[in-house]
Amino acid sequence: MLERMVAVMGAPATGKTTLTLRLGQAQGYQVFRIREHVPDTILAAAATSVDQPERIDDVTVVRALRGYVERVVFDASIHTVLLDDFPGSGTQARLLLGVLRRLAPACAVHAVELVADRRVRDHRVATRRVCHRCERDPVHDPRIPAQASRSDPNRCARCGGVLHPRRGDAPRLLVARTQHYAEQALGIRATFAEAGITVLQLDASRSVETLAAELRELLVVSGARP
């Protein structure tokens, strides 16, 4: 039975996907990424610009959310959903809360914002790579950081394929994404605050193990499962 959703937000390269992947390995947890729940044609249209962030329209967002919540709300194997880089705007935050009020009124919502300084984020951008073999993205734009082979840092440790920089880490697009987040975060925080939800800020310059342990502890303190 779905008990809580945890929104994990933050500027590019603060480690949102790495953290949700780590936490999502625990029993009862599942990771939600909005782009994995929309039609490929819409995803392709949203990613056509070479210097603007991917933007999925709100009608598509609410349909994807509603369909997802309807599937997991009564799934006995899932008690916690981790929202990776979602919501992306104040409007999406309102859509999320509205869908949950209708379909899962007992589901608690938590919000976490990962924060890291420019030096840390620049280092992560310079070193992270993705694997097109392991992550079969419908628009050939994989997002999940891949682990490099110990013998060859340019090869994937899992499949041996060649690793590539993320499309979204290209300099102009990274600047646009960072600015877009800074603008949208104000609305996200305000929407959560209106709903009585505190956005907790975590120092994302630390290891993912440390972050995961701290977030688990915060969920326990708030009455959630470990």
Do 134 and 26 fall within a single domain? Answer: no
Do 75 and 136 fall within a single domain? Answer: no
What whole-number distance in Å separates Cα of residue 54 and Cα of residue 70?
A: 25
pTM of the model: 0.93
* Per-residue confidence in pLDDT tens, the chain, 226 aa: 899 999 999 999 999 999 999 999 999 999 999 999 999 888 888 875 656 778 899 999 999 999 999 999 999 999 999 999 999 999 999 999 999 999 999 999 999 999 999 999 999 999 999 999 999 888 889 999 999 999 999 999 999 999 999 999 999 999 999 999 999 999 999 999 999 999 999 999 999 999 999 999 988 766 655 5
Do 120 and 193 fall within a single domain? Answer: yes
Question: Is 96 within the bounds of a domain?
Answer: yes
Q: What is the DSSP letter of 66?
A: H
Q: Which domain holds residue 159?
A: 129-164
Question: Is 226 within the bounds of a domain?
Answer: no
The structure tokens listed for 45 are 């249209």
**Rg, C-alpha atoms of the chain:** 17
Q: What is the pLDDT of residues 135-182, one digit of tens each?
A: 988 888 999 999 999 999 999 999 999 999 999 999 999 999 999 999
Q: Provide φ and ψ at 107, rounded to 5°.
A: -75, 125
For the chain, where are the alpha helices, taking DSSP H only? 16-23, 40-46, 58-72, 90-103, 118-127, 171-194, 208-221
The structure tokens listed for 154 are 């340019």
Q: Domain with 8 in it: what CATH number?
A: 3.40.50.300
Instruction: Give the number of residues written for the chain.
Output: 226
